[in-house]
Homo-oligomer: A and B are copies of this chain.
């Protein structure tokens, strides 16, 4: 059986069920204490591998990767602050956010005054535990709700962080789905955060399901999925994959795709890459509220992919962007903050964007002088004189008029003000009648688009 096109896979998908499936994966992964290295990260990758056939790669501590060095592997068993009666007033077992991620081992006794500089809380959101990290400096600390901190009596406390730093490895996951072209679409998410659901178990779940659907579809383009710890993970992959990098033609980082906010597309460094235009076309054609943000060198791993030594056209398709919702990087970003229907809507948008990339081919009109006579081919209504030719006939006329080997179908859809799918169908009909012939898409191996 020939695999279905991505558009067909999307058309037959049960998004309600897929939304529930993604939400269940978020809930399952939520309790794990992940970091940029260690067993929690590895366990998360193994779970994704069950569904997708992901390959887990291990890069030894100390490996030089671009300007960085893979850090020692961090693992943590327990951590607490206890009062004189041995009661834990801060307890890692209740939330792994209580410990500053990557804290060095500690076993000491301190007064509250001595401890206070190492306690992080949010006075403006007093019931929530903040998420803090100390990846690249030897440091430690605890995070707790402001109201809990306010209730702590001045006293002496036992302070324990039972963590370890050892020579080990950094883990990341990679999945490659080949297409008929070697041109690649890079789909990347960070999977290093501990118990934070939207940031970014939502992205992990979405790319897991997307990989499952793409595996079943016919593919013109090749797809590469990366599940990496933030920053150091993408840098590690970039450091070791020069050849692959040169084949990346489009990309997206997936994060914060499960909250109730509207979809937001953040552009690539170039701002006018094909992925930028495909994503904006899909969001606009959706008729739903959405936002488009300019590129900024802050955010997720698109920072690394868009660095000047790579300039990969990688955008980011999220719901509410990082830092713009109150629950961001707090204990309130929990499983309930993520909604099955939001995950499903995000997945649908990802599929639509990829369907545009798949279908955005270029053609040449084989009868470029005047219009070819559609009527004798059964492609035009028999009785003339009515004012409006109908959307499919308009799409055919646009495709014929524009297809001189220059504009691709997305260019034509945008100029015509028609949905991409309609233009894609018109092109299929015209190809079937010999009125269009394909032209090579773009110079092979170039990262920069053909547009000038």
Contact = CB atoms under 8 A, between A and B. Distances in A.
Interface residues of A, number: 64
A256 to B, nearest CB: 12
A367 B66 contact: yes
Contacts of A131: 385
Interface in A128-173: 130-137, 139, 141
Interface string A366-383: 011111110110000011
Nearest to A380: B136
Nearest to A138: B382
Task: Please state the number of chain copies in the assembly.
Answer: 3
Given A133-B385, A384-B132, A397-B298, A308 B372 contact: no
A66 B369 contact: yes
Nearest to A322: B387
A368 B245 CA distance: 15
A400 interface: yes
A306 B231 contact: no
A318 interface: no
A401 to B, nearest CB: 4
A383 to B, nearest CB: 6
B133 A369 contact: no
A249 interface: no
A231 B385 CA distance: 13
A365 interface: yes
B68 A370 contact: yes
Given A130-B385, A307-B368, 13 more contacts: A66-B369, A66-B370, A100-B383, A101-B385, A133-B384, A133-B385, A134-B382, A137-B375, A137-B383, A303-B371, A307-B371, A309-B370, A329-B386
